């Protein structure tokens, strides 16, 4: 590859930040005057990578010019947006590759609100989060499944933000918030006069997100008759606007999310299996807050800093006893409510009852719901779902548990209960 010198227009932004992934979380450093990068410990950023030179490159802030990336005669070169460079003026969200490490340059400080979602003290969830960086670099579809309020949209934004598509838009569509008559137009656009009220032509989300990411929230609510059209758009990367005879090529990365079990909807014939498999290439499954209480103190501390409010130790103890049916969203709203009601004070135990809403299901209703699950018909459906998932994943119980959103211990218990032999489903 030829080394090239890239010249760009002047960019006189006052602040510059460099961020990169390190041990499953995001590191960030402000460039006040210059930053040097290399293997040598005298560099400001030291990286243990044999593909990186001792003094590999530097970024310098020059008054009236901007932030300049300079290769320091490195052995393997410095790359800017996949082009090898000697010297170049940096632009917002430029990607710098040296050795096996990729950095992102930005004029804005990395928001800690994102950072709270990139690591966890819960081993199972942190294991998933460790794949986030590589997942972001891929173009494959991502399916995010989990209860409401667990941060699925934030994860989608993180995936987009750290992808090579981050310079282009991420467009979000909530599939449950649109009427069936409008959702096709929202996806694919329409031409003038294609239906009553279509006074002008309009491009849909696929074209608006060109070069970027399309986030399909609550994909489980997508009407069945529209699923083949979405499947075609994903498989052939082409769409046809409502009322148009012409096919248009698309370039988007799909990120979908749902609080429902799509595997169960497939079994009930309310979601197409081919679309499900097309979406379910990469996946994340954020757990209930009550299942990752190791992170509770960090999350509470973060939201308390955001709203400038604090809780007494005993009050925090009471908060930890709450089941948090609304998950992280409920915790954030609780802290916001504390700020509105008790600003300027330390929230004590006697205030907690005012802050927490009664869980949606009372204990009596939970008992009734549990009894209903023992009905023979429900048992049959549950067993069939496990068998379908076992067939799909060749008896891999870890994947089956993730698919059905069950703790592995619960799945093992149900396998024994229904006398299912996982070995029968191995290839």
Q: Are residues 329 and 371 in the same domain?
A: no
Let me know: does 78 contact 57? Beta carbons within 8 Å. yes
Specify the pLDDT at position 58: 96
423 in any annotated domain: no
337, 356, 375 — which closes off a domain?
Answer: 356
Angle at 388 between CA 384 and CA 389, to 5 degrees: 120
403 Cβ contact list (under 8 Å, min separation 6)? 261, 263, 389, 392, 393
Q: Write 372-378 long-range contacts (CB < 8 A, 24+).
A: none
426 in any annotated domain: no
Q: At what angle do helices 313-321 and 296-307 cross, to 10 degrees?
A: 120
361 in any annotated domain: no
Specify the pLDDT at position 113: 60
Q: Are residues 254 and 324 in the same domain?
A: no
Kindly calculate the radius of gyration of the chain based on its CA atoms and give it in whole angstroms: 25
Q: Are residues 130 and 268 in the same domain?
A: yes
39 in any annotated domain: yes
106, 134, 162 — which closes off a domain?
Answer: 106
140 Cβ contact list (under 8 Å, min separation 6)? 281, 282
Q: Which two tokens stand for residue 375?
A: 């009905």
356, 383, 408 — which closes off a domain?
Answer: 356
Q: Are residues 178 and 206 in the same domain?
A: yes
Specify the pLDDT at position 7: 40
Phi, psi of 334 (to 5 degrees): -65, -45
**Per-residue confidence of the chain (427 residues) as pLDDT tens digits?**
444 444 444 345 678 899 887 764 567 788 888 999 999 988 999 999 999 999 999 999 988 889 999 999 999 999 999 899 999 999 988 999 999 999 999 887 766 566 677 889 999 999 999 899 889 989 999 999 999 999 999 999 999 988 989 888 899 999 887 777 677 888 887 776 556 565 676 788 899 899 999 999 999 999 898 899 899 999 988 888 777 778 889 999 999 999 999 988 998 899 999 999 999 999 999 999 999 999 999 999 888 877 889 999 999 999 999 999 999 999 999 999 999 999 888 999 999 999 987 554 444 444 444 444 444 555 677 787 888 888 888 888 888 887 777 777 778 888 888 888 888 887 6
Find residue 105's DSSP bridge partners.
18
Let me know: does 234 contact 141? Beta carbons within 8 Å. yes
User: What CATH number is associated with residue 397?
Assistant: 1.10.10.60
Q: Are residues 269 and 313 in the same domain?
A: no
What CA–CA distances, in Å, run from 106 to 109, 111, 234, 316? Answer: 7, 12, 31, 37
pTM exceeds 0.85, yes or no? no
Domain span at residue 409? Answer: 367-418
Q: How would you classify the pairing of strands 34-38 and 45-46?
A: parallel
Specify the pLDDT at position 118: 83
DSSP structure string for 212-226 = SEEEEETGGGS-GGG
Specify the pLDDT at position 214: 95
Write out the E strands in 259-339.
282-284, 310-311
Q: Are residues 86 and 140 in the same domain?
A: no
User: What CATH number is associated with residue 351?
Assistant: 1.10.8.60
User: What CATH number is associated with residue 123?
Assistant: 3.40.50.300
Let me know: does 90 contact 7? Beta carbons within 8 Å. no
**How many domains, the chain?**
4
Q: Are residues 216 and 318 in the same domain?
A: no
Specify the pLDDT at position 225: 87
Q: How would you classify the pairing of strands 248-249 and 238-239?
A: antiparallel
Q: Are residues 383 and 350 in the same domain?
A: no
Let me know: does 363 contact 393? Beta carbons within 8 Å. no
User: In 12-170, where does DSSP find H-type helix?
Assistant: 112-115, 123-129, 132-137, 152-161
Q: Are residues 129 and 211 in the same domain?
A: yes
280 in any annotated domain: yes
Burial of 205 (0-12, 13-18, 19+ CB in 10 A): buried
5 in any annotated domain: no
Let me know: does 343 contact 309? Beta carbons within 8 Å. yes
Q: Which two tokens stand for residue 110?
A: 């990395």
User: What CATH number is associated with residue 33?
Assistant: 2.60.200.20
Number of continuous H segments (helices) and E segments (strands) in the chain: 17, 20
Specify the pLDDT at position 3: 44
DSSP 8-state class, residue 79: E
Let me know: does 212 contact 93? Beta carbons within 8 Å. no
Specify the pLDDT at position 423: 83
């Amino acid at each position: 590859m030829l080394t090239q010198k890239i010249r760009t227009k002047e960019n006189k932004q006052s602040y510059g930040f460099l961020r990169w992934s390190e041990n499953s979380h995001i590191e960030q450093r402000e460039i006040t005057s210059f930053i040097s990068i290399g293997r040598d410990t005298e560099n400001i950023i030291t990286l243990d990578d044999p593909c990186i030179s001792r003094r590999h490159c530097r970024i310098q802030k020059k008054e009236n010019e901007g932030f300049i990336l300079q290769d320091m005669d490195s052995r393997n070169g410095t790359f800017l947006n996949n082009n090898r460079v000697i010297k170049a003026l940096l632009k917002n969200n430029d990607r710098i590759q040296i050795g096996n490490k990729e950095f992102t340059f930005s004029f804005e400080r990395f928001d800690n609100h994102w950072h709270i979602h990139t690591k966890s003290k819960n081993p199972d969830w942190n294991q998933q989060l460790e794949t986030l960086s590589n997942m972001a670099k891929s173009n494959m579809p991502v399916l995010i499944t989990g209860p409401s309020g667990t941060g699925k949209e934030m994860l989608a934004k993180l995936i987009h933000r750290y992808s090579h598509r981050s310079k282009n838009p991420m467009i979000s569509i909530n599939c449950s918030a649109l009427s069936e008559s409008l959702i096709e137009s929202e996806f694919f656009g329409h031409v003038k006069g294609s239906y009553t009220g279509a006074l002008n032509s309009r491009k849909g989300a696929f074209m608006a997100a060109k070069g970027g990411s399309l986030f399909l929230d609550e994909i489980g609510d997508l009407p069945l008759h529209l699923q083949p059209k979405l499947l075609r758009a994903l498989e052939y990367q082409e769409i046809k606007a409502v009322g148009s005879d012409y096919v248009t090529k698309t370039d988007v990365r799909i990120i979908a999310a749902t609080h429902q079990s799509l595997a169960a909807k497939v079994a009930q014939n309310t979601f197409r299996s081919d679309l499900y498999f097309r979406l379910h290439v990469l996946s994340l499954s954020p757990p209930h807050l009550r299942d990752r209480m190791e992170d509770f103190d960090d999350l509470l501390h973060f939201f308390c800093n955001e709203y400038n409010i604090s809780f007494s130790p005993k009050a925090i103890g009471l908060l930890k006893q709450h089941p948090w049916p609304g998950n992280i969203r409920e915790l954030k709203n609780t802290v916001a409510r504390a700020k509105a009601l008790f600003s300027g004070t330390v929230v004590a135990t006697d205030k907690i009852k005012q802050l927490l809403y009664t869980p949606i299901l009372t204990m009596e209703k939970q008992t009734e719901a549990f009894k209903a699950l023992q009905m023979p018909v429900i048992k049959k459906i549950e067993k069939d779902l496990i068998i379908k998932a076992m067939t799909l994943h060749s008896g891999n119980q870890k994947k089956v548990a993730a698919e059905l959103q069950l703790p592995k211990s619960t799945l093992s218990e149900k396998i024994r209960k229904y006398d299912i032999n996982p070995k029968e489903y191995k290839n």
